[in-house]
Amino acid sequence: MTRAAHRLHQIVNLALKEWRLLARNPHGLAVLFFMPAMFILVMSFTLKNTLVTHVDLPVTGWVVEDTHPAAQAWCQQWLNHHGGQRYASREALQTALRERTIDAAVVVRSPWLDKNGRPQANQVELWLGNRVQPAAAARLRTELSFSMLQVRLRIAAAEAGPLASMLLDSTSAPELMGQDHGPRIRYLYEIESGRAMTAVQQSVPAWLVFGMFFVVIPMAGVLIQERNEGTLLRLASFGVTPGTVLGSKLAAFMLLNWIQLSFMILVGRWLVPLLGGPALQLDIELGWFALMVLSTSAAAVGLALLVAAYSRSFDQAAALGGGLNVLLGAIAGVMVPRMLMPPILQTVSEWSPMGWALDGMQVVFVGNPQAEDLLLRAGLLWVFALSCLAAAWNTIRHWGSIVPRSSNSPSPVACQGSKDST
Contacts of 23-30 with CB under 8 Å at 24 or more apart are 25/315, 27/315, 27/316, 27/319, 27/320, 28/315, 28/319, 30/319, 30/320, 30/323
Q: Are strands 124-128 and 104-108 parallel, antiparallel or unpaired?
A: antiparallel
Rounded mean pLDDT of the chain?
78
SS (H, E, C) the chain: CCHHHHHHHHHHHHHHHHHHHHHCCHHHHHHHHHHHHHHHHHHHHHCCCCCCCCCCCCCEEEEECCCCHHHHHHHHHHHHHHCCEECCCHHHHHHHHHCCCCCEEEEECCCCECCCCCECHHHEEEEECCCCCHHHHHHHHHHHHHHHHHHHHHHHHHHHHHHHHHHHHCCCHHHHHCCCCCCEEEEHHHHHHCCCCCHHHHHHHHHHHHHHHCCHHHHHHHHHHHHHCCHHHHHHHCCCCHHHHHHHHHHHHHHHHHHHHHHHHHHHHHHHHHCCCCCCCCCCCHHHHHHHHHHHHHHHHHHHHHHHHCCCCHHHHHHHHHHHHHHHHHHHCCCCCHHHCCHHHHHHHCCCHHHHHHHHHHHHHHCCCCHHHHHHHHHHHHHHHHHHHHHHHHHHCCCCCCCCCCCCCCCHHHHHHHHHHC
Question: In this model, does residue 273 exceed pLDDT 90?
Answer: no
More confident residue, 411 or 291: 291
Is residue 215's pLDDT more than 80? yes
- What region does 239 belong to: left with phi over 0, alpha with psi -120 to 50, or beta? left
Residues 237/411, Cβ–Cβ less than 8 Å: yes
> Which domains does the chain possess?
60-193 (3.40.1710), 199-396 (no CATH)
The pLDDT value given to residue 338 = 78
pLDDT of residue 418: 42
Closest CA to 358 of 344, 134, 339: 339
Residue 283 has φ and ψ, to the nearest 5°, of -80, 70
- pLDDT score for 379: 94
For the cut 70, the answer to whether the pLDDT of residue 407 exceeds it is no
pLDDT tier for residue 39 given thresholds of 50, 70 and 90: low
The number of beta carbons lying within 10 Å of the beta carbon of residue 259 is 8
pLDDT at 316: 79
The sheet carrying 85-86 orders its strands as 85-86, 60-64, 104-108, 124-128, 184-187
Burial class of 146 by CB neighbour count within 10 A (0 to 12, 13 to 18, 19+): exposed
How far is 331 from 333, CA to CA, in rounded Å?
6
Q: Name the percent of the chain lying above pLDDT 70.
A: 78
Q: What is the pLDDT of residue 292?
A: 93
Confidence of residue 295 (pLDDT cuts 50, 70, 90): very high
> What confidence score (pLDDT) does residue 232 get?
79
Task: Tell me the β-bridge partners of 86.
Answer: 62
Which range is least confidently modeled, 42-56, 247-261, 379-393?
A: 42-56
Q: Which residue has the higher pLDDT, 284 or 171?
A: 284
Residue 51: the pLDDT is 53
| Mean pLDDT calculated for residue range 260-277 | 85
Q: What is the pLDDT of residue 256?
A: 86
pLDDT at 413: 41
pLDDT over threshold 60, residue 210:
yes
* Model confidence pLDDT, tens digit, residues 149-187: 888 777 766 666 655 555 545 444 444 444 455 687 888
For residue 13, what pLDDT is reported?
77
Q: How far apart are the first and last CA of the chain?
A: 47
Is 50 exceeded by the pLDDT of residue 323?
yes
Measured in residues, the chain has a length of 422
- Tell me the pLDDT band of 375, cut-offs 50, 70 and 90: very high
Predicted local distance difference test score (pLDDT) of residue 214: 84
* Percent of the chain predicted with pLDDT > 90: 7
Q: Which stretch, 92-101, 228-237, 366-375, has highest mean pLDDT?
A: 92-101
pLDDT for residue 298: 92
pLDDT of 381 over the 90 cut: yes
The C-alpha atoms of residue 419 and residue 406 are separated, in whole angstroms, by 20
The closest of 329, 321, 309 to 396, measured between CA atoms, is 309
What pLDDT band is residue 34 in, cutting at 50, 70 and 90? low
* pLDDT reading at 22 higher than 50: yes
83 pLDDT above the threshold of 80: yes
Estimate to the nearest angstrom the gap between the alpha carbon of 305 and the chain centroid: 23
- Nearest partner of 143 among 47, 50, 67, 60, judged by Cα: 60
Q: Which of 66-75, 329-338, 394-403 has the highest mean pLDDT?
A: 66-75
